[in-house]
Chain A
Amino acid sequence: MSLTHYYSSVRKLLIMKIENAKAQMRKGVLEYCILSILSRGDAYASDIIKELKNVELIVVEGTLYPLLTRQKNAELLSYRWEESTQGPPRKYYRLTEKGESFLGELDRSWTNLTDSVRDIKNQKR
């Protein structure tokens, strides 16, 4: 392998790792935000998507559906079918009790995390 080939492979690896880390960060946060939104009230999937897009947490809608279903399967959410005048019935999501307590834990963990990070960044040398 030539030297340039080696360097470009290393660069590619690095870029992948950065994207990895970003993705990992965003992933946890997304799930946290879904639960937060639902804690304010029941909502349709499209409402959740709209809010997340507004704050630019997601770019593509497709990201949401797997997360919603997984959380539902983990019994953090539940849904019921709501008839709508314009088309077929839509899923109307609701936070379960399990979800509420899970959310509470996440809240605590988030506060801890952000406090710690702030402290580190503000450390004077």
Chain B
Amino acid sequence: MKKTIRIHISGYIFNIEEDAYTILEDWLSKVSNQYSDEEGGDEIINDIEIRVAEIFQDKIGAEEGVISSEEVHKVIDIMGSPEDFEQDVESVETDPKQSGKKSKFKRRLYRDEENNILGGVCSGIANYFGIDPLIIRIIFAATIIFGGFGTIIYILLWIIVPKAETTSQKLEMKGEPVNISNIEKAIKDEFENVKKNFLDKTNSEKLNKFKKGITEITDTFAGLIIKLFKGVSGFIGVVFIIAGILAVILAFSFFFNNSNILFFNHSIFNWQPFINLFPTPFSSTITSIGLFLLIAIPVIMIIYAGTRILFKYKSGGKAFRYTGMSLWIIGIIITSVVAIKFAENHQSENKHANNFTISDNLTNTIYLSLDNKYNKTFDKPDFVMSNYNIITTDNKVKLFGKPNVDIIKSKDNKTNLKLSYSANGKSRKDAYLRAQNISYLWNTKDSILRLQPYFTIKGDNKFYKRELFITLELPVGKKIFLDSGIVNLLDGIKNTENMWDHEMAGQKWIMTNNGLSLNLKNDSVIIEENILPQETDTVKTDSNISI
């Protein structure tokens, strides 16, 4: 489906496809330019248009026909291109355009106010060397950001270097020979430009002058606003670009362990701690490359797009875009592969358990509290990823986690402590071995059961999911006091009061058939407040301790 435009040529109405219109319009404007300043030129253009309309009429017939680019090309073949019309050839001495090339004619440094963003300094310099202004602007922007002395230089140049005003100056700026035909050409070009914006359809001279005056004023005013806008938006654009570049550099230093970039040491913001978590150094490097590409490439592409729009850079850059795209896809592939590998390594789960009988006694209240003798740095971890692996660094990576404590009814009328260590691994055997690496400390003395708030991993510190489930089994009728410190470890204790774990703290509970209850029956009068020495005066610890 194509869009059509309705046009008329010399009073003939046509429907024409959008792309055909562009071609036709281009040809017509070339013709128009060629004869516009000639005496009777309007008539020539008119005759040509009539003829063109005639040809279209022949080709497509009735009103509903649509002109496609095929018809337009046929018309151009028949009529010829504007250059063919004129058998006049310019005098042979002038060379065809020498755009961009350095010529041996005198070249002077001027500011170019026709191609300027701010003051035309960069354009002028670029003209002098015959290169694209974009390069000069990037250099300037870089010197401004990294030190700022570029600003001073720019302002100095803006003041000192004169702007190219007269035609001969403009030619000198671009290094084109200052001779009559070139000046004539330049003047002609400029005249055409002016004419395009000039209102020339009215008769009255006074009205013309008035319109001219208004136009001049609004043009100057608008020109100022546009310049200001260009300047501000240019500045903002540059800020974004620089920020983007900084982000990429930071990402690079993050992933590739280079703490000393940009003159400040940010060793905390570093990939280093994570490296230890990967099974092999190779996999950690690959992952960092993959993630870096994944994140940095889109940022770089945005920066690139920004510079192109900002500096009106027209030509290709296809190679850049394709390279960027492929690198990003590589980043995606690497990250996916790593993710898959990761899943493979963690697909099995296994556990092993330890059971302890703490007491046969039904009557004593057991006090459940926190063991304070643990590594306090664990309380302020550097990094937390889910509940299972909390990482901290003092030049080393330590993994630890929080156990889940549950209190349920005992089946054998004894008070038991069951510890279930669970881990993930490549295979069930692997997972079992890893589960054995979980190390946990607890003790009981008299009727006090002290649990530590964290379990640690001994052996290799690799990143695998590990969990510890602690189940305290109480026979029905057994009373327990929950110290407030233990509350963080509790995990959904079933109770008849429908309280949340944190609400249960600081109170004495009794185990019933339906979970813990606050309803302490007082039929057997037992003094609970004093802790009496017990036969179980031993300090029991986890058999897997290593110190």
Contacts and interface: CB of A to CB of B under 8 A. Distances in A.
Interface of A: 13, 16-17, 19-20, 23-24, 26-27, 45-46, 59-63, 65-66, 68-70, 72-73, 86-88, 90-91
B87 A27 contact: yes
A60 B85 contact: yes
A60 B80 contact: yes
Interface of B: 10-12, 31, 35, 39-40, 43-44, 47-48, 50-51, 53-54, 57, 77-82, 84-89, 92
A45 B47 contact: yes
A66 B44 contact: yes
Given A16-B92, A66-B85, A73-B40, A88 B80 contact: no
Contact of A62 (B43, B57, B84): B84
Contact of B11 (A13, A45, A88): A88
Chain B: interface secondary structure? helix
A63 B84 contact: yes
Contact of A60 (B40, B57, B78, B92): B78
B74 to A, nearest CB: 12
A65 B78 contact: no
- Tell me the interface secondary structure of chain A in the complex: helix
Contact of A68 (B10, B47, B79): B47
Contacts of A63: 80, 84-85, 87
B316 to A, nearest CB: 27
A20 B92 contact: yes
A60 B79 contact: yes
28 contacts: A13-B92, A16-B89, A16-B92, A19-B89, A23-B87, A45-B51, A46-B51, A60-B80, A60-B85, A61-B79, A61-B80, A62-B31, A62-B48, A62-B79, A62-B81, A62-B82, A62-B84, A63-B84, A63-B87, A65-B44, A65-B48, A69-B40, A69-B43, A69-B47, A70-B40, A87-B57, A88-B11, A88-B50
Nearest to A61: B79
A16 B40 CA distance: 29
A88 B89 contact: no
Given A16-B92, A88-B50, A62 B85 contact: yes
Contacts of A90: 50
Contacts of B35: 66
Contacts of B11: 88
A16 B92 CA distance: 8
B372 to A, nearest CB: 88
Given A72-B40, A88-B53, 6 more contacts: A13-B92, A16-B89, A20-B92, A61-B79, A65-B44, A65-B85
B246 to A, nearest CB: 47
Contacts of A88: 10-12, 50, 53
Contact of A24 (B10, B86, B87): B87
A24 B50 CA distance: 28
B104 to A, nearest CB: 10
A45 to B, nearest CB: 7
Contacts of B88: 23, 27
Contacts of B31: 62
B39 A73 contact: yes
